[in-house]
Amino acid sequence: MLFKEFKLIRLNSETNILPFDCGNTDLNGFLFDDAKNYANELLATTFIIQLETETVAYFNYLNDKISHAEIGNKDTFLNRISSLLPAGKDGYTSYPAMKIGRLAVSKNFKGKGYGRDILNFTKALFVDNNRTGCKFITVDAYRESLDFYLKNGFKYLSSRDKKSDTRLMYYNLGSLSDY
Amino acid sequence: MAKPIKETPFLSGTDAKNFVRENKEVVKASKEEKEQIRASYEALKEIAQFAI
């Protein structure tokens, strides 16, 4: 993908956010109304791809964790007891992850592969010379983007948000462990 | 104000079983996929206005 003349910047309180319209008012609103608050509160870091006069895309990251109940044939009592013991041979029930809180591409640049490039960049960023352990990428995906994430190797995390406006999905970075 | 970013829930029941099953054996990314990932990473790294 050609990024000639594009700049990737990290949003801060001084950033002048250039015009942007991805076609979704909520995602537009997040960039203009909320992204700086998330940054100021140290909740999420937003990155912007921009040209001189407009915003091409934005995305943000925050720390996350995937935890699950122990799985096995043990009865409830044993499950309760085993939760007090160190993890067994089967390993962990909690994994470090990073979340893509929001990712949006301007209508003017849709269908050119920029969204996929951002996902690829994110995958590489968290396996290449990473500073902390990170096993999964999670994403709070808008309904209209579910196919996009499925095509890029993401899976649904839960069936309980089937009817929500957004669904949680995840990507296992273990598939790139020999990256 | 836009919708807040949803928290990741603790997985239990069927969700937990599905998650464990899906991640028991991870399929490695293909050589082509890794090359694409590397190319995207380098392209964005090149235009980054901060250290990566």
| Alpha carbon distance A163, A108 (integer Å) | 29
Residues A24 and A57 sit within 8 Å (Cβ to Cβ): no
Q: What's the whole-model pTM score?
A: 0.89
Facing residue for A121 by CB, picked from B1, B29, B44: B44
Q: Show which of residues 149-178 on chain A sit within 8 Å of chain B, judged by CB atoms.
A: 153, 155, 157-161, 164-166, 168, 172, 174-178
ipTM confidence: 0.95
Print pLDDT tens along chain A (179 aa).
678 899 999 999 999 999 999 999 999 999 999 999 999 999 999 999 999 999 999 999 999 999 999 876 554 554 554 555 445 344 679 999 999 999 999 999 999 999 999 999 999 999 987 778 999 999 999 999 999 999 999 999 999 999 999 999 999 999 998 87
Number of H helices, E strands in chain A: 5, 7
In angstroms, how far is CA B15 from the centroid of its own chain? 18
A68 to chain B: which residues are within 8 Å by CB? 10-12, 15-16, 19-20
Residue B43's closest chain A neighbor by CA? Answer: A3
